[in-house]
Amino acid sequence: MNKKAVLLLVCRDEPGIVSRVSNFIFQNGGNILDSDQHCDLETQTFFLRIEWSLENFKLSREAAQRQIEALTQSFRISTQLKYNDSLARLALFVSKYPHCLYDLLVRHQLGELEVEIPLIISNHSELKSVAQHFKIPFHVLSVNAQNKTQAEAAQIKLLQDHQIDFIVLARYMQVLSADFISKYSHRIINIHHSFLPAFVGAKPYHQAYARGVKVIGATSHYVTEEVDQGPIIAQQVAEVSHRDRVEDLVRKGRDLERSALAHAVRMHVQHRVLAYKNKTIVFE
């Protein structure tokens, strides 16, 4: 494996940012492999993703972190320094719908998602056989209005015990509490079966059918306290017509859900997403 580092930077825009970061990498023996940037002209906010090879890089990771912090101290809002030689640990949350779970597990098995999946957590037992097929531990924790606090505490303990880095809600049909979300800010990815912000909430395909829309979609986003309102990472759409029944919309929508969720997970794992306020910059 060619070991690589990725720096993600959000700061106020000013001349010389790219030059300073590039020179830091060059002067320490790094070879830049990929670089992308964006400036939001309305807020004068600058976003940078830069990736370099560590083959001849002279600094230890601790020294690199210190020097980057010193280098960007005058203008930075936030920086993240990531490495590709340690796989992110992903926990999958599911309920009864299997299509997104199957898709992610098959992609993982084929090597398309470079993550570790130590466990699957569900509020129902229906998908246990799927987890058994892929040899992944499956934990059933029933959730209702009376035991929600205790159930989430048990979920969080499992996540901590397995050193989970991020969570994917693969059609997990429960609303997470604000306390839970705060512990994994911008590290919980959801798939919503609608082209948000249209048709939020339950049964969006039924809502779309009732409105006679000509396009349906699916949206993958980071979870925030406001349901279905988090920063959007990926969306997919498909055309529909008056001939399509609700069942047709659901069938077409499931294909979109799989694709949008997998793409969002891949972008997150490759450190290509910068969340800022309630939007994302996705460096494809």
| Catalytic residue annotation | 228
The phi and psi torsions of 213 (rounded to 5 degrees) equal -65, 160
Count the neighbouring beta carbons within 10 Å of the beta carbon of residue 80.
13
The one-letter amino acid at 1: M
Contact 268, 260 (CB under 8 A): no
Among 155, 94, 153, CA closest to 125: 94
Q: Which amino acid is at 275?
A: A
The answer to whether the CB of 121 falls within 8 A of the CB of 91 is yes
Measure the CA–CA gap between 258 and 261, rounded to whole angstroms: 5
List the beta bridge partners of residue 52.
5, 32
**What is d(CA 240, CA 216) in angstroms, rounded to the nearest whole number?**
7
Best CA proximity match to 170, nearest among 261, 263, 267: 261
